[in-house]
Structure 1
Amino acid sequence: MARRLRSVGLDYVDSASLRLVYAAEVSAPPDAVYRALADDVEGWPRWFTQVTVARPIDGGAGREVRLRGGITFRETVVATEPGERYAYRIDESNAPGLQALLEEWRLTPAGTGTRVQWTFAADGSTLFRFILRRARGAVGRSFRDAVGNLDRRLAAAAG
């Protein structure tokens, strides 16, 4: 059953009690990466394998997302800076122990490609924080796999 999480602002990305930050480079330019993140929400399951369903809601101001294992999120988009940043706050979720979550995708030019940095800023119960810290490596692998899939997808679309 989904429950309401604490509402946080964009500054939470720097102040959360638990922050996981990952980065990788892709060959696509920042604008193409941004479009895949922000404009093609329904395409997320094709490259981020942990996501089984993603769809925009409220005219694109929010998203509904379902992950493998049945975790669901109802989100509000809090930053849309084409080619630079895309961020969203989780407003409702059925994830046990989760109390607040904001995810930020930062894009910076890297040669002819893009450096993609993902920050997962969260708070939750003591058990939630413990488990997430222990899962840091698995979350990082999931991110790297997703960005690698996105890179191949964008290269195929451009080629």
Structure 2
Amino acid sequence: MARRLRPVGLDFVGTAPVRHVFVREISAPAEAVYGALEDVPGWAEWFPRVRAARPADAGAGRDITLTGGIRFRESIIAAEAPGVYAYRVDGTNLPGVRAIAEEWRLARAGSGTRVRWTFATDGTAAYRLAMKVARGGQARAFRDAMTSLERRLRV
């Protein structure tokens, strides 16, 4: 990877200069949704922007490739079934970025699950502006991913 990012912890999710938070309720139980989050290779089957995903560092990390060739080497920073799954990006080929952390929070909602995804990042001024503009695309990606995951997990 061309860029090494600043290591951040879970607290960065609440303090990052750019934060995008998306929420959706799906009919699958929280345990099933959490299982899908932990199944790293499975991400390519339900998150449309993920082209390839594989565990790294004996399961403590992930190698992710997105549409367009953007790559991430990530470290898992929280794995608390069935409520929280989070990771930070340690390295990427994306220009201008200094730090990224993502958190998935799950809560039971009726017979299903409320899924909240927070994307937290920092970078150069140009990168931060680009990420604010990219919010709409991330919202669509999240919506499409939740629709696909819900279909996949239907009992």
Query: TM-score of the superposition, structure 2-length normalised?
Result: 0.98
1:92 maps to 91
| In structure 1, C-alpha distance between the alignment counterparts of 2:144 and 2:2, rounded to whole Å | 28
Task: Indicate if the aligned counterparts of 1:12 and 1:102 stay in contact, CA closer than 8 A.
Answer: yes
Which residue of structure 2 aligns with residue 133 of structure 1? 132
Query: For 1:2 and 1:100, how far apart are their aligned partners in 2?
Result: 14
Structure 2 counterpart of 1:30, one-letter code? A
Within 2, Cα distance between the matches of 1:30 and 1:101? Answer: 25
How far the C-alpha of 1:3 sits from its partner, in A, is 1.2
Q: Could you list the per-position Cα deviations for residues 116-154 of structure 1 after superposition, in whole angstroms to 9, with x for gaps in the alignment?
A: 000000001111111111121111011110011000001
Deviation at 1:2, TM superposition (A): 2.3
Aligned partner of 2:48 in structure 1 is: 49
* Distance in 2 of aligned mates of 1:154 and 1:98: 34
Specify the alignment match of 1:102 in structure 2: 101
Instruction: Spell out, residue by residue over 1:67-87, the C-alpha distance to the aligned partner (whole angstroms, 9 max, x if none).
Output: 000000000000000110000
Counterpart in 2 of 1:21? 21
Which amino acid is 2:106 matched to? L
Q: Which amino acid aligns with 2:23?
A: A
AA of the residue aligned to 2:82:
G
Runs (4 or more) in structure 1 with deviation over 2 Å come to: none
Aligned length in residues: 155
Deviations 1:16-54 (A, max 9, x none): 01100000111011010000001x110101110100000
One-letter amino acid of the structure 2 residue matched with residue 79 of structure 1:
A
Structure-1 residue corresponding to 2:79: 80
Note the C-alpha offset of 1:9: 0.7
Q: Deviations over 1:52-75 (max 9, x none)?
A: 000011121000000000000000
Query: What is the rounded CA distance, in whole Å, between the counterparts of 1:90 and 1:2 in structure 2?
Result: 13
**Structure 2 unaligned residues grouped into runs of 5+:** none
The CA RMSD measured in Å over matched residues stands at: 0.7
**3-state secondary structure, aligned to 1:49:** coil
Structure-1-length-normalised TM-score: 0.95
